[in-house]
Each structure stands twice: as structure tokens, then as C-alpha cells.
Amino acid sequence: MKRISNVVVAVAFICGNMALTNDAFARERKSSGSYQSRSGGGTFQKNVNRSQGSTTKRTTWQNKRGEGSLEKHRTWDKSSGTGSYSGSLKTATDKTATWGGTVKKNDDGSFSQNGTITGPKGKTTTVDRDFTKNDDGSRSVDTVYTGQ
């Protein structure tokens, strides 16, 4: 009896690992569910698409105020050390915000980000950000917002 249970455990372990391995290489993942918050609750749907050097995430939600959405897109070209990002948010009360920009890996290993954020009232803010690695292994971030 003990020998059969060991075989069952081994087969279950192998099948579980195969399922996790296949899922880890998935190019598209979807999830949905419900949530609770102080103002009530609602439902959500999330979709993530990945390909080499690119990721797109889209989330929508529904609650008593209506429906909202969040979409984010990122690219990265490892050979050139450059990437881009963009996103948009639409609330259930029809307020929108958008953002986007570029990221570059510098010769010294630091990263520079340049982008813009446009808020719900149409005002655009420029964002310039530098990420550097310190000698002790920690990281420093220097951010300048223009047009707030």
C-alpha cells in the first residue's frame, strides 16, 4: 500500500510540474474575479500578453460606479539597450490619464527615462528620471517633473 501511495505522489508531482512549466512559458494569461473595497466591490478581468521584448497588460473592472480600464505596454531591445513604455487609465467616472516615454541604458550601466504624463484635466507633465547603482549595491533615483 505504501508503495502505491509513493507512486501516486510521484505521478502527481510530475504532472503538477509539467502544468506549471507549460504555464510559465505561456504567451497570454488571463484572470478574472471579484474584489471588495471600502466603497463596495466589483469584478475585474486581466489579460497579459508577452512576446520577446514586449509586454502588454490590460485590466478592466466593473463596480457600482461603472466600468474602468488600465492598459500598459512596454518594449525592450536588449541589443540596443533601449525601450519604451505607454499606458492609459480610464476610470468608471470617465476620467482619463495617459503616459509614455523611453528608457535607455547608458554606457556606465545607469538608466535614463524620459516621458510625459497627461492627467484627467489635460495638463501634461514631463518626467526625466535617472537610475544609478551605488557602490554599496543600493540604487539611487533622481526624478525631475516639469510642467506640474
Residue 62 C-alpha cell reads as 466593473
Q: What pLDDT does residue 9 have? A: 46
Rounded (5°) CA angle 20-26-32: 85
Q: What pLDDT does residue 25 have? A: 52
Q: What pLDDT does residue 37 have? A: 87
Q: What pLDDT does residue 21 have? A: 43
Q: What pLDDT does residue 10 have? A: 45
Q: What pLDDT does residue 115 have? A: 97
- Report which of 97, 81, 94 is spatially closest to residue 131, judged by C-alpha positions: 81
Chunk the chain into consecutive blocks of 10 residues (it has 148) and report each block's average pLDDT, rounded to whole numbers: 45 47 66 91 96 95 94 96 97 94 95 96 96 92 92
Q: What pLDDT does residue 39 have? A: 82
Which residues are paired to 83 by β-bridges? 76, 103
Q: What pLDDT does residue 35 have? A: 93
Q: What is the pTM of this model?
A: 0.75
Q: Are 142 and 129 in contact (CB under 8 A)?
A: yes
Q: Are strands 54-63 and 28-37 parallel, antiparallel or unpaired?
A: unpaired
Which residue pairs, CB below 8 angstroms and at least 24 apart, start in 55-62?
A: 61/35, 61/92, 62/92
Q: What pLDDT does residue 88 have? A: 98
